[in-house]
Amino acid sequence: MLVLVEGASDERALRVLAARLGRSLDGVEIAPLGGAGNAVAFLERNRGRPVAGLYDAGEARQFRRALGTEDLEAAGFFACDPDLEHELIRALGPASVEEVLAEHGDLPRFRKFQGQPAQRAVPIERQLWRFIGTASGRKLAYAEYLVEALDLERVPRPLERLLAHVAG
């Protein structure tokens, strides 16, 4: 089984969550696309292989075109609304995400970020999302940290559905 994800952070989150849930990814190849725009070409190169995946909700049109179907879930593709980081922030809640930031030494930087004029009127969930994506390597690291902190009773639906589809 080939699992398509948009980027390396999605792959990291999926692997960490599978391990936490005791789900085997034996026989599963996870392939970061480097963006949804690469889905059509990637699927063409891998025609004939069973595929599944995660995608950002705003990229549904690209995946429908690439897969030739309107029913992406039936094809094994699950939407993160609007993306994986938002799904994880919602599942954890802002206070828990701030605890994770503190554990990894980033809370003071986040507080400074929150004080920027452009961030002052922005909801905290959006601030957290933006902060996680601002520094090189932070998005990849926090994909793991947030999944590690996740209450397994609150796994975001697209991750839960994808793992149920592909992992034993």
Where the chain has pLDDT below 70, the residues are 168
Residue listed under structure tokens 């990291």: 12
Percentage of residues of the chain with pLDDT beyond 90:
86
Q: What pLDDT does 47 receive?
A: 87
For 62-111, the pLDDT digits (tens) are 899 889 999 999 999 999 999 999 999 999 999 999 999 999 999 999 99
Question: In this structure, how many other beta carbons lie within 10 angstroms of the beta carbon of residue 69?
Answer: 13
**CA distances from residue 167 to 29, 45, 71, 162 in whole angstroms, order as listed:** 11, 23, 21, 8
Q: Both tokens of residue 89?
A: 């922030």
Q: What pLDDT does 37 receive?
A: 83
Domain extent listing, the chain: 2-84+153-166, 87-149
Query: What's the rounded Cα separation, in Å, for the pair 73 and 60?
Result: 11
Q: What pLDDT does 168 receive?
A: 63
What amino acid occupies position 105? G
Q: b/e map of 40-51 (b: 16 or more CB within 10 Å)?
A: eebbeeeeeeeb
Q: What pLDDT does 108 receive?
A: 98
Q: Could you tell me which of 128, 120, 60 has the C-alpha nearest to residue 100? A: 128
pTM of the model: 0.94
Q: What pLDDT does 43 receive?
A: 87
Peptide bond into 117 cis (omega under 30): no
